[in-house]
Structures are given as structure tokens and as C-alpha cells.
Chain A
Amino acid sequence: MSALTSLVRSTIGKKVVMGLTGLIMVGWLVLHTTGNLLIFAGQDAFNHYAHFIQSGFGVEPQLLWLMRIALVIAVGAHIWAAVGLTARNRSARPVAYAGGRKDAATTYAARFMMGAGVVLLLYVAFHLAHLTVGAFSDHPVMPTTFSKVDAYANLVHGVGVPFVGALYILANLALGAHLYHGVGSGLQTLGADGPTWTPLKARLTLWVPLFIAGGNLVIALTCMFGVGVLIDAPDPAWVSPH
């Protein structure tokens, strides 16, 4: 058997899949969050950014689809590997410790990976329906009409709804936890260790979730409680397509 097939078949192969796909998604999330933060630069900047993405990064609209497909595959593979490994891990300990097993090193984040993963999956579905597809136009979830062009307004109004905002907050807490264990774990699986990588890994483990989940949390909180700050001069130009 070649080294590659043997790796793919091993548990470690599945973990490498998890690690690689995880890192792809982290990369996407960093971009996405950076873009989201443009909300603080005003409606104009934010909507231009949204258009930039929709136009396939200003290059070719198909690119967006390519990226979406890549992300779907990453998510699918991530889930496939996770389910396989979890099933395996369950069967590796068929009888639990009757007197309990005390955790000595692991974190809640690590223990909650599967749970957080499921939460995130549901959240992504809702989020896409909510702010990408616009499935809830004029619905209490999206109190205004969903606009195809004013992504800024969609976000501000959509997330400004208290229980929706709360949902985003919860989901991002789960995301933070998932990343807190996932980033370090993925890097470890990919063999990142040593005088350069060990400290870097520790820093990334902290800063990546802080940036992504923290950034989104700030946005959600602002939409909920600081709308005034955001929409102080709504630009009529974005009300209808130009």
C-alpha cells in the first residue's frame, strides 16, 4: 500500500482531512469577518464590499460559485470525517467509567466540539437563508424588506431583532469555542510543532477565535444596541438598485 493510501485510510488521515478543511474554513471566516467589520466604515463601504464579493471578487462572477462549491465540499468533508471519527471514538470506549472520568487537561471547548459543530451547521443554514437568500423578507426575523443590494441594511435590521441577535451571539460563542480547540488541534494534526510552531500555535489558538467570534459578536451587539451609531445617515442611493 502506498504511503498516501495508508494515510487516507488511517484515523490520522481523517484527522488530516478535518484539519485541512477546518483551516480552509478558518481562512474564509477571517476574510468574512474582516469584511463584516466594514460595517463600522459605513453603509457605502460595506455594500461595496458585498458587491465586490458577489461579483466574484471583481474578476469573474463564476469565481464566487467556485468558492461556494469549495466551501461546501470543505464543510461536507469536515462533517464526514467528524462523524466517522466520533463513531470510532465512541466504539473505542464502549463502557464508560462507572465512577466517572475526571478531566485533567482538556477544555470544555474540546469536549463540546461535536455539539458546537451541530450548532454551527444549523446556524450556517439559518444565516444563509436569512442574509444571503433573504428567505424571511418582511418576516419578524427580517423586519424590513430584504434588499438585494443593501446588504448593510439587511444586516443591521436583520440582526438588530433581539432574538435574532441573541441567536447570532449564541452561535458565535459556539464558533469561538469550536475554533479555540479546532485551530490548535488542526495545526497539531498537520504536524505543527517545534521551536517556531509551538508558540505560534498557542498564539493562533487564542487570536483566531478572538478575532472571528469576537468581531462578529461586536457586530451583533452593535446591531442590537447601537443601531443609532450605524445608521445615522442612511444613504438613499442604496434603497433601490442603481
Chain B
Amino acid sequence: MKVNLRIWRQKGPDAPGAFQDFSGVEVVPEMSFLEMLDEVNRDLEAKGQEPVVFDSDCREGICGSCGAVVDGTAHGPGRQQTLCQLHMRSFQDGDTITVEPWRAAAFPVVRDLMVDRSAFDRIIQAGGYVTARTGSAPDANAVPIGKPEADAAFDAATCIGCGACVAACPNASAMLFVSAKSGHLGLLPQGQPQRYSRAEAMVQTMDGEGFGGCSNHGECEAACPKGIGVSYIARLNRDLLRAASGAASK
């Protein structure tokens, strides 16, 4: 089968960008979307032209490197998957497919489909951890954790930091990302001592990075390849309110 591609090309964060058209690209349904881009790139390279730049590494939906908006949807059509898990069998012969990068002020375009997501790292650096000096830990079974809490913490912990939540949000908000980390650690006994300071520090950094505010559209949840839900956002809000009202320190 053949598809036509419109791929966003942009030299750098401040350079103007434009779509480049590739028509009649030969594909097979078993190919992954990124393998299709590999083919495009091999052809470009063979012609001495610069390939389309995009991030990818694990190609199995866990590292969070890949991502692009395909036909208006972050990570392309289909729920709970990353771009590398999208296969060409999701398209029809003759389709024209539009591919563009995550667009957010906090994620400047590096080149073509590659964006700079280091803002996420800085949010974690601000507080997305449990302080536990190596070697100081008590026995792992010293504190039992009920399965429900462990499971809820796990659901939040599955975040791969791909940025699709930001890309899909009409406001380019990072609340799902922040709330997932705050939910993961805040639900576990080990995360309690820093629960409120962590939430505050991460939100402060998030705001400083230029993400938008959450206005509860739910687009993030729909785009999240791991299906992380917006209820973690409510939880984060609650933690912040509790911290602000002083209830947290009582």
C-alpha cells in the first residue's frame, strides 16, 4: 500500500518551519510508523539529503523518547500507545498523513519532530523523588503496603515522561505529568515525609517552565499512552490545598 506524508521540517527553535510532502511512500501494514519513517530517511540519505529528525530508542513504548502529533492526535490514532507502537495497519492505502512535533512553549522544537523536554527533568529535580541515602534503607518488608495503595501508586508510576499530555492539552499544561509523580510517591508510605513539599516544589517549577494551567479538558488522559487518569490531578490539587491551609503540618 501507498501513503502520502506531510512532515513538519524545522531547522531549529527559532527557524521558520514548513511541511514537506512525500507522496506515494510504499509501506506494508506490519511496519511500525517509525519503521516507515526509517524507510523515508534511508531514501533521503541515499539521495544525500538530511533525514527527518525524530527521537526514538526502545521502540516498544516504554522509554518515552518518541512522539509526534499524527493527524491531529498525539502518538497518532489509537488509544494507550506510543508513536513507536503505532503500526501502518491503522492507515488505508492512499491516506495522507500529517506529522508534526509536540507544540508547547515549554518544549521548544529542536529539529523537525524532535523537541526539548528537559523541562520535565527540571520538574523532577525540583522535588520528584524520595530522599533515601544509599545504604540507609530499612528492610524492604519493614513497612507493609496494602495492595490497593501499591496498585494506585503503580498506575501513576507508569508514566514514561513522553510529553503527550502536554502536546494534547489545549493549554499545553503539564499537570498530568506532575500529578502522576506526586501521586506515585505520595501514595506510598516512603513518600509521606516529603509529600507536600514535593508537590509544591514541582508545581512551582512547572509554572516557571511556561506550561499552561489545567482547565480539566481531559485531553491528557486520552492521549496518555499509559492511561494515567486525571484523578491524580485532583489528588495533587488536594495536597496543595491541604499544604496551603496548614492542615498538612498538623
Direct contact of A and B (CB under 8 A): yes
With beta carbons under 8 angstroms apart, the residue of B73, B103, B223, B234 that contacts A93 is B103
- Tell me if B100 and A93 are in contact (CB < 8 A): no
Docked Cα-Cα span, A12 to B214, in Å, equals: 8
**Which residues 1-56 of A sit at the B interface, judged by CB distance below 8 A?**
3-4, 6-12, 14-16
B163-197 vs A, CB cutoff 8 Å, 1 = contact: the mask equals 00000101111000000000000000000000010
With beta carbons under 8 angstroms apart, the residue of B19, B104, B196, B234 that contacts A191 is B234
**Which residues 179-200 of A sit at the B interface, judged by CB distance below 8 A?**
181, 184-185, 188-194, 198
- Nearest to A192 among chain B residues (CB) is B234
Interface 9-residue window, one of A69-77, A96-104, A147-155: A96-104
For residue B222, give the distance in angstroms from its CB to the closest CB of chain A.
Answer: 4
B222-250 vs A, CB cutoff 8 Å, 1 = contact: the mask equals 11000000110111011111011110100
- Tell me if A12 and B240 are in contact (CB < 8 A): yes
B103-126 vs A, CB cutoff 8 Å, 1 = contact: the mask equals 111100000000000000000000
- Tell me if B72 and A190 are in contact (CB < 8 A): no
- Tell me if B216 and A99 are in contact (CB < 8 A): no
Residues of B within 8 A of A106 (CB): 170, 217-219
Docked Cα-Cα span, A60 to B102, in Å, equals: 58
Interface 9-residue window, one of B36-44, B52-60, B153-161, B200-208: B200-208
Residues of A within 8 A of B168 (CB): 101, 104
- Tell me if A101 and B72 are in contact (CB < 8 A): yes
- Tell me if A113 and B196 are in contact (CB < 8 A): no
Docked Cα-Cα span, A194 to B173, in Å, equals: 23
Residues of A within 8 A of B203 (CB): 6, 10-12
Docked Cα-Cα span, A236 to B46, in Å, equals: 94
Docked Cα-Cα span, A213 to B141, in Å, equals: 55
- Tell me if A3 and B213 are in contact (CB < 8 A): no
Docked Cα-Cα span, A100 to B98, in Å, equals: 9
- Tell me if A16 and B241 are in contact (CB < 8 A): yes
A153-182 vs B, CB cutoff 8 Å, 1 = contact: the mask equals 000000000000000000000000000010
Residues of A within 8 A of B233 (CB): 188
Q: Is A59 an interface residue (CB 8 A)?
A: no
- Tell me if A96 and B103 are in contact (CB < 8 A): yes
- Tell me if B100 and A97 are in contact (CB < 8 A): yes
Q: Is B88 an interface residue (CB 8 A)?
A: no
Residues of A within 8 A of B231 (CB): 193-194, 198
Residues of A within 8 A of B103 (CB): 93, 95-97
**Which residues 74-121 of B sit at the A interface, judged by CB distance below 8 A?**
98, 100, 103-106
- Nearest to B106 among chain A residues (CB) is A92
What 10 A-B pairs have minimum CB-CB distances, sorted nearest first? Answer: A191-B238, A92-B212, A193-B234, A102-B72, A99-B98, A106-B217, A89-B171, A11-B213, A105-B218, A89-B212
Between A and B, 26 residue pairs with Cβ closer than 8 Å are: A3-B200, A3-B240, A3-B244, A4-B246, A6-B244, A7-B200, A7-B240, A7-B244, A12-B203, A16-B241, A89-B171, A89-B215, A92-B105, A92-B172, A93-B104, A93-B212, A99-B19, A100-B72, A101-B69, A102-B72, A103-B219, A104-B223, A105-B221, A111-B170, A188-B216, A198-B231
